[in-house]
């Protein structure tokens, strides 16, 4: 309830073969829960199910509730579930500031106000003055930070992290973990992290649920 | 020096140096196919200023231009050309992008991709004739609706085709251009990583259509800019649909200019040349304006994308675009169907929904006259495809070792024949061919067809050619096969399906050629296309239908073969059925 993300008996199957679950858990606002498991255990499919992008080849059971609201049947854009992917997926035709403004809701009106919000987010990410830059000129770590700020500016009700540190090199990874988890807690949204890296789980600091592959190998 | 630099570049890139023979392919292709376009443009420009020694023009003069400007109906013709051409382009672009935006990722979009290639293969002439048989006052649609819905017991006295506004003509252009654009967009979508970006935008709360338009469209548009410009150029200078469906008093500019070229009074050739140059100028100006418009739209669009509006569920656009696309598909399919009906009709009184009876008499009566042009069509097409395959394969094999940026720039050259209106350079080419005594001969015809066949074959083959895993050939070489053997025994069979598709596309483009056949053949070589266009202005619908249907049938057979032959040859190879 009150702002939490609740996964209630969710299980996924492909062609009758169970892939994951049944799984029940609740993530409180500002908390980070980690799902750990080997690749192929279906954890990314679970995130796709929560965000409403599950491949139609899957059959799903169970419910997902965000702030007490059942998400079933809602298109992805109506769920208010923000996802940070392994790839930053910055839009290459927009500037860095344009990407952030893209995340900002339309209810924030006026070009001045929007630009100020974007600039504040950039400053928060240690990227003050980067608004006019082409995203292609940014380093991997900078791009990842912009992607997170873009997701948070959209004011999501929950945050899903789909192996977001997998493509960063080791030195950058620690920095990025600290940055992401601090921002997620500050935003006060329930955050669900899936990873196969124990270091991620440790840095997240919250409860860890270890998944085992149910698929025959 | 340059050769040394090039060798150094190959060495640096760690690539095997292409053999000298392979390196010649792009050069030959450019010289043989693009050079003549320039020669043709100059050969049209000079007569427009009075210089054409064969007709006694040796002194430069402005008289052709003064005659052109004084020609009756010129202003109305230009106005008609611009309005129909721009309207057709805008409608085609809106519908094609609308379809992609509204239906991206759905099963229907995938189905559509399969349905469109045969529609695209229907020649413009056959489609225009069928379209006229469909929507004319005495056409099939009116017959199906009369008299129960309309009350008409005889064809109404309304200009439903050749209407003064060119509405039928514009709609016919849209029906043929939308499939082309949708296929171009679908191909570009595969190269943009659209799915990931869409997912990101949806997770930020964007509706499916708003996400597509704000995130995917800018990336896709960059890839389909040339096809869009080709559509613009074609809409402003189409020939066969204009002859059949556009108003005649005055017609659009290209048919008007062709009328002057065909006039028995040879002095009119100068004025016609000036008109042809004007036509090229119109298209060139329109392309420049379009490119300027693109910038303005991009500027406004970027601001709009960043304003945060999330858009709705997109159902409205889904409904509108589905209806538009269904109409376009039905119009093309219905046009071919009505040709078949007329070709087999014993008699078809007005307001009967179907012919009273069926007969093969029309076919039998038409056969003696039909066989010659049909054979010409077949042979020219086969020759053009054969030469085209060799040239395209050579260029691609050479291009495979070039950096991608260079290959991207080469696309402009490939598209050149599709961007320059044919009437603007074909007369100049004819002048040269006549001077060389080559007009009306086979090499000239095949070559003129190749101007249009080659770009399409190149576009069809380029992506599959580059996408084939290089390691297949490398392992063949490691097993001791020489370059030719690994090419013929490994690459060609693996690419059999795209090769067959490219051949079918090339063949259908050749079958459709009207103006190049007319000019390179000096009007002496008859094909199904030239005959069908001539007959379209006559009275006997049944005979016209036989020729037009035969013209439409050849490409469809070629496409069926392109699907069937590789499938049969690989019937025991599961790994060859996909991809």
| Rounded to 5°, angle at Cα A178 from A175 and A179 | 85
Across B229-240, average pLDDT: 96
Residue A92 sits at the chain B interface (C-beta within 8 Å): yes
Residue A86, domain member (yes or no): no
DSSP-derived secondary structure letter, A168: S
Residue A89, domain member (yes or no): no
* Confidence tier at B15 by pLDDT (50, 70, 90): very low
Length of chain A, in residues: 217
Give the number of domains in chain A: 2
Length of chain B, in residues: 579
**Nearest residue in A to B192, CA atom:** A92
Coil, strand or helix at B98: helix
pLDDT value for A10: 93
Q: Please answer yes or no on whether B204 and A102 come within 8 Å at the CB atom.
A: yes
Question: Residue B378: is its pLDDT beyond 90?
Answer: yes
Question: Residue A214: is its pLDDT beyond 60?
Answer: no
Distance CA B130, CA B118 (A): 16
Asked, as a colleague might, if the bond just before B331 is cis with ω within 30 of 0, I would say: no
User: Mind listing the pLDDT tens digit for each residue in B76-93?
Assistant: 999 999 999 999 999 999
- Domain check: are B484 and B355 in the same one? no
**Nearest residue in A to B207, CA atom:** A77
Residue A19, domain member (yes or no): yes
Residue B311, domain member (yes or no): yes
pLDDT value for B500: 94
* Confidence tier at B12 by pLDDT (50, 70, 90): very low
The pair of structure tokens assigned to B308 is 């945060």
Residue A142 sits at the chain B interface (C-beta within 8 Å): no
Residue B165, domain member (yes or no): yes
Of B204, B219, B313, the CB nearest to A103: B204
Question: Residue B579: is its pLDDT beyond 70?
Answer: no
Kindly list the residues of chain B whose beta carbon comes within 8 Å of any beta carbon in chain A.
196-197, 199-208, 211, 214-215, 218-219, 302, 305-310, 313
Coil, strand or helix at A36: strand
Backbone angles phi, psi at A158, to 5 degrees: -150, 155
Q: Are A37 and A213 in contact (CB under 8 A)?
A: yes
pLDDT value for B293: 96
Interface test mutation site (partner B, options A91, A107, A143, max chain B beta carbons within 10 A):
A91
Sign of dihedral through CA atoms B441, B445, B446, B451?
positive
- Domain check: are B226 and B349 in the same one? yes
Nearest to B85 by CA among B164, B162, B172, B161: B172
pLDDT value for B157: 87
Q: Are A142 and A179 in contact (CB under 8 A)?
A: no
Burial state string for A163-179 with b = 16 or more CB within 10 A and e = fewer than 16: bbbeebeeebbeebbeb
Residues of B in contact with A53 (CB under 8 A): 199, 202-203
Among the three residues A105, A124, A153, which one is the final residue of a domain in this structure? A153
Q: What CATH number is associated with residue B542?
A: 1.10.3720.10
Q: Please answer yes or no on whether A102 and B306 come within 8 Å at the CB atom.
A: yes
Give the number of domains in chain B: 2
Of B202, B218, B306, the CB nearest to A101: B306
Across B148-165, average pLDDT: 88
User: Mind listing the pLDDT tens digit for each residue in B507-518?
Assistant: 999 999 999 999
- Domain check: are A145 and A160 in the same one? no
Among the three residues B309, B325, B359, which one is the final residue of a domain in this structure? B359
Distance from CA of A178 to the nearest CA of B (A): 23
Residues of A in contact with B197 (CB under 8 A): 89, 91
Q: What is the DSSP string of B93-161?
A: HHHHHHHHHHHTTSHHHHHHHHHHHHHHHS-HHHHHHHHHHHHSTTSHHHHHHTTTTT--SS--S--SS
Across B382-399, average pLDDT: 89
**Nearest residue in A to B211, CA atom:** A77
- A42 half-sphere exposure, CB direction, 13 A CA radius: 26
DSSP-derived secondary structure letter, B57: B
- Domain check: are B400 and B304 in the same one? no
Question: Residue B333: is its pLDDT beyond 70?
Answer: yes
- Domain check: are A146 and A49 in the same one? no
Helical ranges in chain A per DSSP H: 43-51, 96-103, 111-124, 140-153, 170-187, 198-204
pLDDT value for A161: 94
Burial state string for B312-343 with b = 16 or more CB within 10 A and e = fewer than 16: eebeebbeebbebbebbbebbebbbbbbbbbb
**Nearest residue in B to A79, CA atom:** B205
The pair of structure tokens assigned to B99 is 């379809």
Element counts in chain B: helices (H) and strands (E) = 27, 2
Place of tokens 């892939």: A19
Residue B232, domain member (yes or no): yes
- Domain check: are A14 and A75 in the same one? yes
Most confident of the ranges A206-210, B382-386, B393-397 = B382-386
Q: Are B535 and B543 in contact (CB under 8 A)?
A: yes
For residue A210, the surrounding DSSP H or E stretch is: strand A208-210
- Domain check: are A72 and A14 in the same one? yes
Among the three residues A108, A128, A153, which one is the final residue of a domain in this structure? A153
pLDDT value for B5: 41
- Domain check: are A11 and A73 in the same one? yes
Determine how many CB atoms are found less than 10 A away from the CB of residue A140.
13
Residue B44, domain member (yes or no): no
Q: Are B46 and B218 in contact (CB under 8 A)?
A: no
* Confidence tier at B292 by pLDDT (50, 70, 90): very high
User: Mind listing the pLDDT tens digit for each residue in B170-220?
Assistant: 999 999 999 999 999 998 998 888 888 999 999 999 999 999 999 999 999
Average pLDDT of every residue of chain B? 88
pLDDT value for A213: 58
Which structural domain range is residue B181 located in? 71-251+284-359
- Domain check: are B325 and B388 in the same one? no
Interface test mutation site (partner A, options B104, B195, B201, B204, max chain A beta carbons within 10 A):
B204
pLDDT value for B53: 85
- Domain check: are B493 and B524 in the same one? yes
Backbone angles phi, psi at B297, to 5 degrees: -65, -40
Determine how many CB atoms are found less than 10 A away from the CB of residue B569.
14
Among A205-209, B162-166, B191-195, the minimum mean pLDDT is found in B191-195
Across B146-154, average pLDDT: 87
Residue A93 sits at the chain B interface (C-beta within 8 Å): yes
- Domain check: are A114 and A203 in the same one? no
Determine how many CB atoms are found less than 10 A away from the CB of residue B1.
5
- Domain check: are A5 and A70 in the same one? yes
User: Mind listing the pLDDT tens digit for each residue in A174-200?
Assistant: 889 999 999 999 999 999 999 988 899
Residues of A in contact with B212 (CB under 8 A): none
- Domain check: are B145 and B80 in the same one? yes
pLDDT value for B577: 66
- Domain check: are B446 and B343 in the same one? no
- Domain check: are A125 and A217 in the same one? no
- Domain check: are B303 and B365 in the same one? no
Tell me which of A20 and B323 has the higher pLDDT.
B323
- Domain check: are A2 and A65 in the same one? yes
Burial class of residue B130 in the structure, from the number of CB atoms within 10 Å of its CB (0-12 exposed, 13-18 middle, 19+ buried): buried
Distance CA B185, CA B187 (A): 5
Distance from CA of B210 to the nearest CA of A (A): 11
Residues of B in contact with A94 (CB under 8 A): 302, 305-306
Q: Please answer yes or no on whether B313 and A75 come within 8 Å at the CB atom.
A: yes
Interface test mutation site (partner B, options A53, A93, A115, A161, max chain B beta carbons within 10 A):
A93
Nearest to B67 by CA among B263, B246, B234: B263
Q: What CATH number is associated with residue A199?
A: 3.40.50.300
Determine how many CB atoms are found less than 10 A away from the CB of residue A126.
12
Nearest to A161 by CA among A189, A121, A120: A189
Residue B381, domain member (yes or no): yes
* Confidence tier at B227 by pLDDT (50, 70, 90): very high
Coil, strand or helix at B91: helix
- Domain check: are A66 and A19 in the same one? yes
Nearest to B211 by CA among A77, A165, A100, A197: A77
- Domain check: are B391 and B527 in the same one? yes
pLDDT value for B351: 85
Q: Please answer yes or no on whether A107 and B310 come within 8 Å at the CB atom.
A: no
pLDDT value for A1: 53
**Partner residues linked to B345 by β-bridges:** B358
Question: Residue B19: is its pLDDT beyond 60?
Answer: no
Question: Residue B349: is its pLDDT beyond 80?
Answer: yes
Which structural domain range is residue A15 located in? 1-80+156-217
Among the three residues B315, B340, B359, which one is the final residue of a domain in this structure? B359
Among the three residues B359, B380, B409, which one is the final residue of a domain in this structure? B359
Distance from CA of B308 to the nearest CA of A (A): 4
Residue B277, domain member (yes or no): no
Q: Please answer yes or no on whether B199 and A107 come within 8 Å at the CB atom.
A: no
Label the pairing between strands A208-210 and A69-70: unpaired
* Confidence tier at B557 by pLDDT (50, 70, 90): very high
Of B204, B208, B305, the CB nearest to A151: B204
Place of tokens 């078809």: B348
Interface test mutation site (partner B, options A44, A85, A102, max chain B beta carbons within 10 A):
A102
Residue A98 sits at the chain B interface (C-beta within 8 Å): yes
HEC readout, B398-463:
HHCCCCHHHHHHHHHHHHHHHHCCCHHHHHHHHHHHHHHCCCCCHHHHHHHHHHHHHHHHHHHHHH
Residue B552, domain member (yes or no): yes
- Domain check: are A148 and A173 in the same one? no
Among the three residues A153, A170, A194, which one is the final residue of a domain in this structure? A153
Among A41-45, A87-91, B62-66, B306-310, the minimum mean pLDDT is found in A41-45
Interface confidence, given as ipTM, is 0.82
End-to-end CA distance of chain B: 43
Burial state string for B488-513 with b = 16 or more CB within 10 A and e = fewer than 16: eebbeebbbbbbbbbbbbbbbbbbbb
Distance from CA of A151 to the nearest CA of B (A): 6
Residue A74 sits at the chain B interface (C-beta within 8 Å): no
Distance CA B515, CA B240 (A): 9
Nearest to B153 by CA among B356, B353, B350, B355: B350
Q: Are A142 and A174 in contact (CB under 8 A)?
A: no
Residue A121 sits at the chain B interface (C-beta within 8 Å): no
The pair of structure tokens assigned to B430 is 């004819």
B50 backbone φψ class: left, alpha, beta (φ>0; ψ -120 to 50) = left
- Domain check: are A4 and A72 in the same one? yes
- Domain check: are B335 and B201 in the same one? yes
pLDDT value for B21: 63
Q: Which of residues 143-162 of A touch B (CB under 8 A)?
A: 150-151, 154, 156
Residue A87, domain member (yes or no): no
Question: Residue A39: is its pLDDT beyond 80?
Answer: no
Tell me which of B230 and A57 has the higher pLDDT.
B230
Residue A102 sits at the chain B interface (C-beta within 8 Å): yes
Question: Residue B441: is its pLDDT beyond 60?
Answer: yes
Across A101-111, average pLDDT: 91
The pair of structure tokens assigned to B326 is 């269904």
Coil, strand or helix at B52: strand
- Domain check: are B372 and B501 in the same one? yes
Distance CA B246, CA B249 (A): 9
DSSP-derived secondary structure letter, A71: -
- Domain check: are B326 and B343 in the same one? yes
Number of Cβ pairs < 8 A linking chain A and chain B: 82
The pair of structure tokens assigned to B395 is 């260029």
Across B411-418, average pLDDT: 81
Across B275-296, average pLDDT: 96
User: Mind listing the pLDDT tens digit for each residue in A197-206?
Assistant: 889 999 998 8
Q: Are B177 and B84 in contact (CB under 8 A)?
A: no
């Amino acid at each position: 309830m009150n702002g939490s993300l609740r996964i209630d008996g969710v299980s996924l199957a492909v062609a009758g073969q169970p892939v994951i679950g049944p799984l029940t858990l609740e993530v409180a606002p500002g908390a980070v829960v980690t799902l750990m498991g080997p690749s192929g255990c279906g954890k990314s499919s679970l995130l796709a199910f929560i965000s409403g992008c599950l491949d139609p080849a899957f059959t799903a059971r169970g419910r997902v509730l965000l702030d007490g609201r059942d998400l079933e049947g809602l298109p992805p854009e109506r769920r208010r579930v923000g996802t940070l992917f392994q790839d930053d997926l910055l839009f290459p035709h927009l500037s860095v500031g344009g990407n952030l403004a893209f995340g900002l809701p339309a209810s924030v009106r006026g070009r001045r106000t929007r630009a100020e919000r974007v600039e504040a987010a950039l400053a928060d990410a240690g990227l003050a003055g980067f608004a006019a830059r082409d995203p292609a000129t940014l380093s991997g770590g900078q791009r990842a930070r912009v992607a997170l700020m873009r997701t948070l500016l959209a004011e999501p009700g929950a945050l899903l992290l789909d192996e977001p540190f997998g493509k960063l090199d080791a030195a950058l990874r620690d920095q990025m973990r600290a940055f992401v988890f601090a921002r997620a807690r500050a935003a006060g949204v329930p955050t669900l992290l899936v990873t196969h890296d124990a270091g991620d789980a440790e840095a997240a600091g919250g409860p860890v649920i270890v998944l085992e592959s149910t698929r025959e190998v | 020096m340059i050769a040394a630099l090039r060798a150094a570049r190959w060495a640096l890139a760690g690539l095997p140096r292409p053999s000298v023979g392979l390196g010649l392919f792009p050069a030959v292709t450019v010289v043989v196919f693009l050079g003549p376009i320039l020669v043709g443009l100059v050969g049209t420009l000079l007569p427009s200023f009075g210089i054409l020694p064969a007709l006694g023009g040796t002194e430069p003069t402005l008289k052709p231009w003064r005659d052109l400007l004084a020609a009756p109906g010129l202003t109305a013709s230009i106005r008609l050309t611009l309005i129909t051409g721009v309207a057709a382009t805008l409608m085609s672009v809106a519908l094609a992008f609308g379809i992609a935006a509204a239906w991206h990722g759905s099963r229907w979009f995938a189905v559509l991709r399969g349905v469109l290639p045969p529609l695209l293969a229907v020649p413009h002439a056959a489609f225009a004739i069928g379209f006229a048989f469909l929507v004319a006052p005495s056409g099939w649609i009116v017959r199906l609706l009369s008299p129960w819905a309309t009350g008409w017991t005889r064809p109404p006295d309304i200009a439903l085709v050749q209407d003064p506004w060119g509405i039928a003509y514009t709609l016919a252009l849209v029906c043929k251009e939308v499939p082309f654009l949708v296929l171009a967009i679908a191909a570009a979508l595969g190269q943009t990583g659209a799915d990931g970006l869409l997912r990101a935008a949806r997770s930020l709360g964007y509706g499916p259509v708003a996400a597509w338009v704000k995130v995917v469209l800018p990336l896709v548009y960059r890839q389909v800019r040339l096809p869009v410009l080709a559509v613009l150029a074609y809409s402003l200078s189409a020939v066969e649909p204009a002859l059949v469906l556009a108003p005649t008093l005055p017609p659009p500019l290209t048919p008007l200019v062709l009328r002057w070229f065909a006039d028995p009074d040879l002095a009119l050739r100068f004025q016609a040349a000036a008109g042809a140059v004007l036509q090229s100028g119109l298209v060139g100006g329109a392309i420049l304006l379009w490119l300027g418009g693109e910038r303005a739209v991009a500027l406004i669009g970027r601001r709009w994308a960043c304003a945060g509006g999330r858009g709705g569920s997109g159902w409205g656009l889904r409904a509108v675009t589905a209806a538009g696309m269904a109409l376009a598909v039905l119009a093309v399919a219905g046009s071919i169907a009505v040709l078949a009906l007329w070709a087999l009709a014993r008699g078809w009184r007005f307001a009967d929904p179907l012919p009273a009876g069926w007969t093969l008499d029309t076919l039998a009566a038409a056969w003696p006259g039909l066989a010659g042009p049909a054979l010409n069509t077949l042979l020219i097409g086969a020759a053009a495809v054969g030469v085209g395959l060799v040239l395209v394969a050579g260029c691609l094999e050479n291009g495979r070792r070039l950096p991608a940026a260079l290959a991207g720039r080469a696309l402009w050259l490939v598209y050149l024949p599709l961007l320059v209106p044919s009437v603007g350079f074909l007369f100049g080419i004819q002048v040269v061919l006549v001077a060389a005594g080559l007009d009306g001969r086979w090499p000239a015809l095949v070559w003129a067809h190749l101007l249009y066949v080659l770009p399409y074959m190149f576009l069809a083959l380029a992506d599959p050619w580059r996408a084939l895993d290089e390691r297949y050939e490398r392992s063949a070489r490691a097993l001791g096969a020489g370059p030719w053997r690994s090419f013929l025994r490994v690459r060609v069979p693996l690419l059999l399906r795209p090769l067959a598709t490219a051949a079918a596309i090339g063949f259908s483009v050749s079958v459709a050629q009207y103006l190049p056949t007319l000019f390179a053949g000096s009007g002496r070589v008859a094909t199904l296309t030239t005959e069908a266009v001539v007959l379209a202005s006559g009275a006997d619908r049944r005979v016209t239908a036989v020729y037009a249907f035969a013209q439409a049938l050849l490409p469809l057979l070629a496409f069926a073969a392109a699907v069937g032959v590789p499938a049969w040859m690989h019937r025991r190879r599961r790994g060859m059925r996909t991809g």
